[in-house]
């Protein structure tokens, strides 16, 4: 394959979790019966007037500051006209040439290091459209379509990146970090499957002779992809498709494409030229949005610690880069981790147990750290038993399963199972002597230099003690007893 530079810019729509819609008092609740959350304003009746939701502006400003944008003291709303059944007014109220905020950036982190910084071109506020439910498997063979306007008028922010990403992987990392940042602001549910976060990916290639220049070829926009993984897959497919066309000497057409989850392919929806005349003009029913310094200061004062500060907190506690990213990507996990590490001073052991055994159980039961039946205190109790030597690591794995199943604390489970590590040297010595007496030929092998024979004897002791003897005590005791035998003979 010829060398191409891959150019990617992402447009991300995020539904804000205000209680009411952007320009009316209707509820934004997800999953209600169709058209039950509607009123003359969001149904686009004539003669009604929109009133801006203050909370939506606060949320948008939070996002803008967290993405290090400049918030404009003056922005305005515009009408974006298009004709489609999900849009009762036949225009969407959005922001066009004077958006709420511009010039931000997101640092992409990989392996604990900042890999690059992606520019955020702009963030603007707009209203969502309704939802069409097609009566059929695919739009093409649908018998009809039903319109649900519950979502019409729900506040959105659109976050438009600069075309700074150079691979599908970078796009994935950008989206992951964007979602991390927004999740700590608590301004959106950020559920891509439910559509509360949606991504359009713009992809173009730059032939080798132009790499590093500003030369542009037509770009393709992949619309409304419903998971980060699929954004990555869609881009990978698109890069290969465009490269193949260019290598065959063909042209790329500027168009909008959809992504098919099943096949992993993108498919043409419409060519962009014809669809792109939105005839924007200023919204006459809304005054300009004027934000004072005092307002911006107040919002700035309410921001939580940045994701970079959270990474630093975890790093200082000794958590490994890969684990930091896993914990950071789940607010519930971070809260759990913090509670557990205030009660137990070995942050690594806490992290390991959280991300291996507890995660395994949570995943298997469809739970999360926020809803975990084993609390941070419960996990710490278990870790204390390991630390005191009452339980071996292997036994603890069995205990944690039972804790999860029964909801009982670690100590109770250990008692019930009659399980506790034998650390008593005398008790172990008795078993060791029995094993030695039973397997004299093996003992002699060991004495004559076959080191491997010891493993067999250790195994026999563990078997007799049902795995509950402390392995290091078994080892030293065995050696002592054998040495004594050796001296006698
Ligand atoms: P439009 O108004 O047609 O949507 P914009 O210029 O506002 O176009 O850009 C939309 C998105 O396209 C942005 O995220 C931007 O980063 C991205 N983009 C711009 N140029 C390119 C390009 N050559 N290749 C890929 N993406 C691009
Ligand atoms: Mg666009
Ligand atoms: Zn309404």
pLDDT in tens, 461-480: 888 887 778 888 888 899 99
119 Cβ closer than 6 Å to some ligand 1 atom = no
Residue nearest to atom 14 of ligand 1 (CA): 9
Pairing of the two strands 197-207 and 4-15? antiparallel
Contact 246, 4 (CB under 8 A): yes
pLDDT in tens, 326-385: 999 999 999 999 999 999 999 999 999 999 999 999 999 999 999 999 999 999 999 999
Q: What is the DSSP string of 170-219?
A: HHHHHHHHHHHHHHHHT-----TTTTSEEEEEEEEEEEGGGTTS------
Mutate to test the pocket of ligand 1, among 202, 246, 277 (most ligand atoms within 8 A of CB): 202
Whole-number average pLDDT of the chain:
93
Residue in the block written with tokens 């050796």: 486
Counting ligands in written order, which one lies closest to the CA of residue 217? 1
In the chain, what percentage of residues exceed pLDDT 90?
76
Q: What is the DSSP string of 107-153?
A: EEEETTEEEEEEEEEEEEEEE---EEEESSSSGGG-S-EEEE-SSTT
| Whole-prediction pTM | 0.86
Tokens of 386: 């390991």
Q: What is each CA distance from 323 to 315, 349, 359, in whole angstroms?
A: 10, 12, 12
Pairing of the two strands 255-260 and 220-225? parallel
pLDDT of residue 275 exceeding 60:
no
Q: What is each CA distance from 481 to 445, 469, 485, 487, in whole angstroms?
A: 15, 16, 6, 10
Tokens of 415: 């008692």
pLDDT of residue 319 exceeding 60:
yes
Mean pLDDT of 1-8: 86
359 Cβ closer than 6 Å to some ligand 1 atom = no
pLDDT at residue 87, rounded to an integer: 96
Angle at 360 between CA 358 and CA 365, to 5 degrees: 95
Counting ligands in written order, which one lies closest to the CA of residue 96? 1
Backbone angles phi, psi at 187, to 5 degrees: -115, -5
Tokens of 269: 């929806």
pLDDT at residue 130, rounded to an integer: 97
pLDDT at residue 1, rounded to an integer: 56
435 Cβ closer than 6 Å to some ligand 1 atom = no
Give every CB contact of residue 404 below 8 A, 6+ residues apart in sequence: 361, 365, 373, 374
Mean pLDDT of 428-438: 90
Residue nearest to atom 20 of ligand 1 (CA): 163
Residue nearest to atom 15 of ligand 1 (CA): 9
11 Cβ closer than 6 Å to some ligand 1 atom = yes
Could you give the domains of the chain?
Answer: 4-299 (no CATH), 305-417 (no CATH), 425-488 (1.10.10.410)
pLDDT in tens, 31-71: 899 999 999 999 999 999 999 999 999 999 999 999 999 99
Counting ligands in written order, which one lies closest to the CA of residue 10? 1
9 Cβ closer than 6 Å to some ligand 1 atom = yes
Tokens of 323: 């684990």
Give every CB contact of residue 147 below 8 A, 6+ residues apart in sequence: 35, 85, 86, 130, 131, 132, 133
* Residues within 5 Å of ion ligand 3, judged at the Cβ atom: 24, 26, 39, 41-42
pLDDT of residue 419 exceeding 80:
no
pLDDT at residue 173, rounded to an integer: 97
183 CA to middle of ligand 3, Å? 27
């Amino acid at each position: 394959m010829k060398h191409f530079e891959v150019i990617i810019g992402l447009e991300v729509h995020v539904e804000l979790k205000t209680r009411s819609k952007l320009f009316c008092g209707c509820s934004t609740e997800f999953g209600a019966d169709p058209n039950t959350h509607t009123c003359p304003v969001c149904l686009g009746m004539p003669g009604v007037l929109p009133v801006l939701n203050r909370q939506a502006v606060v949320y948008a400003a939070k996002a803008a500051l967290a993405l290090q944008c400049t918030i404009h003291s003056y922005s305005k709303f515009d009408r974006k006209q298009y004709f489609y059944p999900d849009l009762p007014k036949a225009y969407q109220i959005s922001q066009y040439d004077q958006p709420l905020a511009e010039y931000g950036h997101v640092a992409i982190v990989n392996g604990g290091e900042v890999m690059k910084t992606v520019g955020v071109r702009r963030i603007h506020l707009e209203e969502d459209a309704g939802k069409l439910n097609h009566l059929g498997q695919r739009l093409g063979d649908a018998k009809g379509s039903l319109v649900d306007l519950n979502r019409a008028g729900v506040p959105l922010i659109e976050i438009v990146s600069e075309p700074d990403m150079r691979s599908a992987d970078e796009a994935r990392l950008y989206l992951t970090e964007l979602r991390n940042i927004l999740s700590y602001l608590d301004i959106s549910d950020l559920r891509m499957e439910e559509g509360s976060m949606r991504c359009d990916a713009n992809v173009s290639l730059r032939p080798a002779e132009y790499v590093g220049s500003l030369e542009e070829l037509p770009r393709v926009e992949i619309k409304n992809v419903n998971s980060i993984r699929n954004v990555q897959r869609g881009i990978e497919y698109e890069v290969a498709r465009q490269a193949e066309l260019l290598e065959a000497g063909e042209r790329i057409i500027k168009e909008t494409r959809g992504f098919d989850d099943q096949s992993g392919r993108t498919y043409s929806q419409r060519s962009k030229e014809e669809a792109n005349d939105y005839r924007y003009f200023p919204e006459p029913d809304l005054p300009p949005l004027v934000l004072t310094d005092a307002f911006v200061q107040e919002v700035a004062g309410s921001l939580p610690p940045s994701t970079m500060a959270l990474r630093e907190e975890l790093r200082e506690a000794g958590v490994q880069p890969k684990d930091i990213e896993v914990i950071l990507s789940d607010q519930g996990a971070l809260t759990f981790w913090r509670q557990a590490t205030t009660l137990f001073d070995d942050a690594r052991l806490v992290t390991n147990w959280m991300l291996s055994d507890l995660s395994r159980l949570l995943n298997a039961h469809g739970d999360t750290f926020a809803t975990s039946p084993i609390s941070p205190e419960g996990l710490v109790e278990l870790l204390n038993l390991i630390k005191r030597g009452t339980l071996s690591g292997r036994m603890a794995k069995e205990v944690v399963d039972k804790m999860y199943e029964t909801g009982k604390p670690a100590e109770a489970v250990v008692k019930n199972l009659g399980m506790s590590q034998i650390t008593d040297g005398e008790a172990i010595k008795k078993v060791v002597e029995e094993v030695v007496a039973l397997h004299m030929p093996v003992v002699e092998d060991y004495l004559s230099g076959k080191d491997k024979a010891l493993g067999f004897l250790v195994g026999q002791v563990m078997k007799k003690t049902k795995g509950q003897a402390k392995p290091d005590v078994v080892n030293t005791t065995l050696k002592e007893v054998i040495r004594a035998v050796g001296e006698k003979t």
